[in-house]
């Protein structure tokens, strides 16, 4: 069996190694147009920021080491320029000699990846506009910084790469501004959870220009002007584009393979394309979302590696299936960690799902053990069925392990109420006896059993101010005096039983506290005394962070820049 693989890195290298483990005699060739067969994509921003100081650490395998271990023929600086499906060959160009030749195959695996999206606007081809995708891109940015010593950078785009570049360039002492058309960073997160990320970025000196549209770029002396719609231009020494990626599918398109979203390659659950004996995987393919079942594009290393393994199994006569991508991801944001899995509330509602959420802010580990920090957890689930749909967590310690538990629960098809039943490890330095994941399950179970009724941030502006409802803040007098929602009466929870006469019977009571726990206790007291009570999901700490962030975004937009 002769297998030709177009592209290395996650899919290509994984598939080649797996094929060799399954078939000692297969003839395997990888054609890679760059100079690197297998490298740490996700580590590239950290090399720019000097967190990783040795460039060799980025290279996972060389052509020589790969051949030595797996007897795979790796041809770097070789670009496949055409696929001839009728005769099962590919045309290959040696980029060092410009020689073009044909190579036959029995099975063809396409791993072309994706290319950074470049906007079709004025000045987008300036050499002061840099992108980050490959090792060569990384070295180019590193050399640019070393040679020109830029003092300021504008990052266009606020996704994973944008955030990681912002942190690493800020650590180099550069003045960093992120420009983003949506009024939030990190679209996999809901806007309320993204506000916590915004606050951390500002805390570390990153300027945010959210809600701005870039219309072009204009070189000016040693710098570059970023032209903004309806606003004055921004000036910087360099610009990095991080507005997403576009599937690299020119080969597939010219060969007549079926294409889907953004011209991505359509594959089935065996990772087979529409043409027999041609497989594809990674950032170039359209997949099913594991939660919604909808077609989608998800560019992440984990799914790509799994897809490469599945292809290898099937090439070697097996029957492995890809069950879909869930979008589980985590990102370092200076001192914080932000993570997500499944779908967020916004996308769930846009998909027509009837959903509810819980938001809680527990400690990362036992409160009595030193060093515990607050983490904010948002869990999205379907009403009536309580199907678990997604989760987002922003905090410090323990974010990654909680999101992995929730990702596993989603994959296992667990109901949100079943989170309370998970038997999770506990010791004071690592967690609490009631782990945050269990706590989310307890809250959702209370909702399912009718023991808890909630109100959410979206309801805040709709609360009647005509006296038809009671608005109650159950924090201490000191907490209340440091900030509260206008119109809320303050009765500390420990005084509530003795002051029930101050609350008018027959009116719904909307309750809030700092995190949601004391207000829940207050709701239990009120319900036990004949009142109808609603607990605020997230607490005043969450409310205050989100509202203040929205004010900053709107005021910055109106005056021209985030302060």
pLDDT digits (tens, 9 = 90+) for 426-441: 999 999 999 999 999 9
**pLDDT surpasses 70 at 75:** yes
Q: Lowest-confidence range among 62-66, 295-299, 471-475?
A: 62-66
Distance CA 203, CA 185 (A): 15
* 32 φ/ψ angles, rounded to the nearest 5 degrees: -125, 125
Beta strands in 249-368 (DSSP E): 265-266, 278-280, 285-288, 295-296, 329-333, 336-342, 355-360
pLDDT at 50: 83
* 107 φ/ψ angles, rounded to the nearest 5 degrees: -130, 135
**pLDDT surpasses 80 at 356:** yes
Residue carrying the six token digits 């570390």: 204
Residues carrying an active site annotation: 42
Residue carrying the six token digits 């940015």: 141
Q: How confident is the model at residue 60 (pLDDT cuts 50, 70, 90)?
A: confident
- Over the chain, what is the mean pLDDT? 93
pLDDT at 98: 96
Task: List, for residues 155-206, the tens digit of each pLDDT value.
Answer: 999 999 999 999 999 999 999 999 999 999 999 999 999 999 999 999 999 9
What does 353-414 look like in DSSP terms, one character per residue?
--EEEEEE--BSS-TTSTT--B-EEEEEEETTT-BEEEEEEEESTTHHHHHHHHHHHHHTT-
**pLDDT surpasses 80 at 561:** no
Task: List, for residues 203-247, the tens digit of each pLDDT value.
Answer: 999 999 999 999 999 988 888 999 999 889 999 999 998 888 899
Q: What predicted TM-score, i.e. pTM, was given to this entire model?
A: 0.93
pLDDT at 39: 67
**pLDDT surpasses 90 at 395:** yes
Q: Residues 137-152: what's their mean pLDDT?
A: 90
Give the residue from 296, 327, 293 showing the smallest Cα distance to 186: 327
Which residues lie closer than 8 Å to 230 by C-beta, 6 or more apart? none
Buried-exposed string 428-452: b where 16+ CB fall within 10 A, e elsewhere = eebbbeebbbbbbbbbbbbbbeeeb
Secondary element (H or E) of residue 81: strand 78-84
pLDDT at 44: 84
**pLDDT surpasses 70 at 3:** yes
Task: List, for residues 31-54, the tens digit of each pLDDT value.
Answer: 999 888 776 677 888 888 888 887
Residue 368, Cβ density class (10 Å: 0-12 exposed, 13-18 middle, ≥19 buried): exposed
pLDDT above 90: percentage of residues in the chain: 79
pLDDT at 62: 81
Beta strands in 396-526 (DSSP E): 454-455, 470-473, 489-490, 509-512
**pLDDT surpasses 90 at 61:** no
Question: Are 233 and 226 contacting, i.e. CB atoms less than 8 angstroms apart?
Answer: yes
pLDDT at 204: 96
Which residues lie closer than 8 Å to 40 by C-beta, 6 or more apart? 57, 58, 59, 60
Q: Residues 535-556: what's their mean pLDDT?
A: 93
Question: Are 265 and 257 contacting, i.e. CB atoms less than 8 angstroms apart?
Answer: yes
Alpha carbons within 13 A on the beta-carbon side of 74: 26
Q: Residues 311-331: what's their mean pLDDT?
A: 96
Residue carrying the six token digits 């974010």: 399
**pLDDT surpasses 50 at 560:** no
**pLDDT surpasses 50 at 456:** yes
pLDDT at 136: 82
Q: Lowest-confidence range among 22-26, 136-140, 320-324?
A: 136-140
pLDDT at 125: 80
pLDDT at 366: 85
* 336 φ/ψ angles, rounded to the nearest 5 degrees: -100, 170
pLDDT at 382: 97
**pLDDT surpasses 80 at 96:** yes
Q: How confident is the model at residue 527 (pLDDT cuts 50, 70, 90)?
A: very high
**pLDDT surpasses 70 at 256:** yes
Which residues lie closer than 8 Å to 149 by C-beta, 6 or more apart? none
Q: Residues 60-78: what's their mean pLDDT?
A: 89
pLDDT at 504: 94
Task: List, for residues 460-503, the tens digit of each pLDDT value.
Answer: 999 998 889 999 999 999 999 999 999 999 999 999 999 999 99
Task: List, for residues 7-29, the tens digit of each pLDDT value.
Answer: 988 899 999 999 999 999 999 99
């Amino acid at each position: 069996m002769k297998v030709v693989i177009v592209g290395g890195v996650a899919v290509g290298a994984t598939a080649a190694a797996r094929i060799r483990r399954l078939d000692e005699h297969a003839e395997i060739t990888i054609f890679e147009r760059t100079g690197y067969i297998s490298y740490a994509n996700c580590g590239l921003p950290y090399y720019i920021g000097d967190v990783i100081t040795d460039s060799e650490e980025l290279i996972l395998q060389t052509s020589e080491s790969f051949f030595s271990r797996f007897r795979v023929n790796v041809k770097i600086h070789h670009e496949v320029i055409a696929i001839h499906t009728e005769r099962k060959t590919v045309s290959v160009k040696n980029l060092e000699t410009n020689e073009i030749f044909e190579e036959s195959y029995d099975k063809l695996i396409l791993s072309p990846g994706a290319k950074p999206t470049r906007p079709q606007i004025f000045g987008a081809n300036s050499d002061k506009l840099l992108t980050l995708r490959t090792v060569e891109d990384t070295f180019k940015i590193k050399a640019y910084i070393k040679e020109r010593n830029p003092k300021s950078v504008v990052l266009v785009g606020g996704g994973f790469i944008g955030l990681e570049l912002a942190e690493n360039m800020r650590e180099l002492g550069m003045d960093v501004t992120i420009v983003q058309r949506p009024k939030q960073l990190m679209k996999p997160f809901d806007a309320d959870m993204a506000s916590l990320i915004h606050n951390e970025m500002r805390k570390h000196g990153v300027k945010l220009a959210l809600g701005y549209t870039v219309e072009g770029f204009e070189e000016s002396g040693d710098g570059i002007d970023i032209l903004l719609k309806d606003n004055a231009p921004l000036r910087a020494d360099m610009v990095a584009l991080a507005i997403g990626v576009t599937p690299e599918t020119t080969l597939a398109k010219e060969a007549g393979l079926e294409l889907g979203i953004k011209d991505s390659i359509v594959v089935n659950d065996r990772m087979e394309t529409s043409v027999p004996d041609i497989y594809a995987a990674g950032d170039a393919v359209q997949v099913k979302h594991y939660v919604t079942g909808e077609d989608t594009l998800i560019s992440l290393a984990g799914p790509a590696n799994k897809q490469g393994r599945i292809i290898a199994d099937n090439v070697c006569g097996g029957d492995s299936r890809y069950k879909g991508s869930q979008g589980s991801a985590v990102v370092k944001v200076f001192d914080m960690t932000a993570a997500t899995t499944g779908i967020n509330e916004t996308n769930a509602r846009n998909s027509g799902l009837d959903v509810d959420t819980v938001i809680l802010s527990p400690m990362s580990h036992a409160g009595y053990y030193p060093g515990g920090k607050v983490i904010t957890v948002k869990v999205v689930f379907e009403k009536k069925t309580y199907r678990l749909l997604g989760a987002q967590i922003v905090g410090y310690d323990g974010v990654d392990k909680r999101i992995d538990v929730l990702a596993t629960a989603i994959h296992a098809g667990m109901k949100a109420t079943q989170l309370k039943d998970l038997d999770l490890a506990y010791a004071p330095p690592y967690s609490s006896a009631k782990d945050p994941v269990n706590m989310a399950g307890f809250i959702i179970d209370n909702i399912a059993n009718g023991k808890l009724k909630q109100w959410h941030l979206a309801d805040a502006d709709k609360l009647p101010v005509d006296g038809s409802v009671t608005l109650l803040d159950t924090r201490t007098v000191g907490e209340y005096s440091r900030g509260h929602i206008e119109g809320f009466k303050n009765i500390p929870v420990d005084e509530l039983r003795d002051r029930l006469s101050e609350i008018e019977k027959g009116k719904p009571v909307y309750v809030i506290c700092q995190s949601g726990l004391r207000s829940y206790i207050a709701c239990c007291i009120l319900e036990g005394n004949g009142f109808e009570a609603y607990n605020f999901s997230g607490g005043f700490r969450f409310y205050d962070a989100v509202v203040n962030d929205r004010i900053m975004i709107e005021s910055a937009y109106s005056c021209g820049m985030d302060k």
